[in-house]
Amino acid sequence: MRKKLLVDVDCGVDDAQAIMLALAAPNVELLGITCVHGNTTVDNVCRNTLRVLQACNRLEIPVFKGAAKPVLGKSLQAGHFHGQDGLGDAPDPDAPGLDLVQKEGAVAAIIRIVSENPGEVLLVATAPLTNLALAVRMDPSLPRKLRGLYIMGGNTESRGNVSVCGEFNFTADPEAAFIVLNDYQCPTFLACWEFTCYSKLSWEFCDAWLAQDTDKARFMARIFRYSIEMSKSERFEKEFVAGTGLISCDSYAMAAAIDDSFITESEHRAVSVELTGTHTRGMMVVDTVGLLDKAHTACIMKKVDLGKFQQMMMAALK
């Protein structure tokens, strides 16, 4: 039986890689892609998502525009890593236009698609969680209808990448992350920042991955060039990831949704998000002593099958 996936993205380069993983998986039916602010503006996110679908000859998959800013506070963007347009500032004169975006908004689409497929949809969120938070506020029954929720975001060791203690997706909308971690009482899986750093792939693999003689590989090589240079910089390796290698953050959450056996070690903890700390706003709170008094726990990924991950990444560009 094919898995039904709904994906919420802020389409930067690693979101593009995650989408391509899903499109290449024979056991997956991608029901739609919802877009939200994050790595770039929400309009750019929509354009980038359409570019990825065009590169994979899958423009029939519906794309929905969502929130342009967080619930509270100012927007963060990641142009320093993904390029100002979110896809490495690699020009594409044949890119699809925004006229292909659905008229229905992303939040309404999430509620509708999940309601039309009760107990079947795996929701994969690789972006700030604004759309998901708005959806559960509009329909509190939404989480009960989900088969599972897979999130790339948060952190477990208070290591930040946009603030001292904050990971980008959660820090870009802490209130939304708080709402989602507390209101979605469904099976929840977290691919957190430090875990992705510990699970990097070698640059030798990356070279072979991009060297495949396909249009998809050439597309990825074009949009990924800028981020590869950033990833190989001395500051990035020393301050953020303590070593060298490819980190396709969003792809870990997607791979877990595609293949249950991808996760080889995990821990279940109650989690929440800090909203008020001077240095810790947006940091994920992991309850190891039971003081949050929450019955619902999330599955925090610790180790994964990197061989399987490499196979899935290679297949995505074939």
Among all residues, which ones are annotated catalytic? 10
Which residues make beta-bridge pairs with 65? 35
Alpha-carbon distance 110 to 100, whole Å?
18
**What distance lies between CA 130 and its chain's CA centroid?**
13
DSSP SS3 for 121: strand
Tokens standing for residue 200: 């990097």
Which residues make beta-bridge pairs with 304? 263
Q: Which residues contact 231 (CB under 8 A, 6 or more apart)?
A: 237, 246, 247
| 129 neighbors 151 (Cβ within 8 angstroms) | yes
Q: Which residue has 């999130």 as its token pair?
A: 151
Phi/psi class of residue 275: alpha, beta or left (left: φ > 0; alpha: ψ in -120 to 50)? alpha
